Amino acid sequence: MHRAADPPPNPWFSWTYLERNGEDVARALEQHVSLTLQAIAIAIVVAVPLGALAHLRPRLAGPVLGTTGVLYTIPSLALFAVLAPYTGIGRVTVLIGLVLYALLVLVRGVLVGLRGVDPAVRDAARGMGYGRARMLWTVELPQALPTVVSAVRLATVTTVALVTVGVVVGFGGLGQLMFRGFRSNYHAEIMTATVLCLVLALVLDLLVALAGRVLTPWSRDARVLSGAAA
């Protein structure tokens, strides 16, 4: 009586998989990175004016935050289904969805940062003859940068995760590898894509944090002085 053959190994980590599929992995990673960076860049361009408008016109703060909040709560599958007939199946649809999801975090971050500016700083600017618009762009926004950077970090990490959902319209970056791995029950493919997503989120978060430190040296100096005084 012959024993049944052992099933072929299906490890969670496999260097052989990377050697054989390196081009596919690199292509998926490049797509994931480009979608994330483009979505965050576009969302920042949209969110800063919206947050500034809500700050200058407090009556608009509720509608602006409410609208971005509603957009954030729409399930991604439903959003892509609504967008697809108008924007097609592919990159544009995924990019629009990612931008809409990032807006809530970024607009709220801009608004909170602007509202948190020290009133004494505003009074000093007024005393120097600054108008409302000049004060916003040259005084309040720079002071709000640490809070805005924190919002960008959160939005970036969230976007890295959301890109994978784009697989439903054929443009999901590393999500393509995950989906293919689930369909074929190939553990190494699933784990490789998952680890790369985690590493990408960590790297981008660190880069944004570093950029924030470079853009706000006064914030770092204030922390150093505070620590020395303590």
Rounded to an integer, the average pLDDT of 151-155 is 96
pLDDT score at 224: 46
How confident is the model at residue 78, as a pLDDT? 84
Q: What is the pLDDT of residue 53?
A: 93
* Exposure class string for 95-117: b at 16+ Cβ within 10 A, else e: bbbbbbbbbbbbbbbbbbbbeeb
Q: What is the overall mean pLDDT for the chain? A: 85
Q: The whole model's pTM is what?
A: 0.85
Q: Give the model's pLDDT for residue 228.
A: 45
Banded pLDDT at 197 (limits 50, 70, 90)? very high
pLDDT the model gives residue 8:
56
Check whether 123 has a pLDDT greater than 80: yes
Which of 103-107, 204-208, 212-216 is predicted with the least confidence, judged by mean pLDDT?
A: 212-216
Confidence of residue 51 (pLDDT cuts 50, 70, 90): very high
With a cut of 60, say whether residue 14 has pLDDT above it: yes
pLDDT at residue number 4: 44
Residue 130 has pLDDT above 50, yes or no: yes
Q: Is 173 helix (H, G, I), strand (E, B) or coil?
A: coil
pLDDT higher than threshold 90 for residue 17: no
> Does 1 score more than 80 pLDDT?
no
Q: How confident is the model at residue 10 (pLDDT cuts 50, 70, 90)?
A: low
pLDDT of residue 71: 87
pLDDT classification of 226: cutoffs 50, 70, 90: very low
Confidence check: pLDDT of 142 > 60: yes
Backbone Cα Rg of the chain: 23
Please, what are the domains in the chain? 24-215 (1.10.3720.10)
Q: Return the ∠ at Cα 18 (arms to 17 and 22), rounded to 5°.
A: 125
pLDDT at 188: 85
**Residue 160, C-beta contacts closer than 8 angstroms, at least 6 positions apart:** 32, 36, 197, 200, 201, 204
User: Measured between alpha carbons, how far is 114 from 144 in angstroms, rounded to an integer?
Assistant: 5
Kindly tell me the sign of the dihedral angle through the C-alpha atoms of 75, 169, 37, 157: positive
Please say if the pLDDT value at position 223 is more than 70: no
Q: Choose from 125-129, 140-144, 185-189 the range with maximum mean pLDDT.
A: 140-144
Say what the pLDDT of residue 229 is. 46
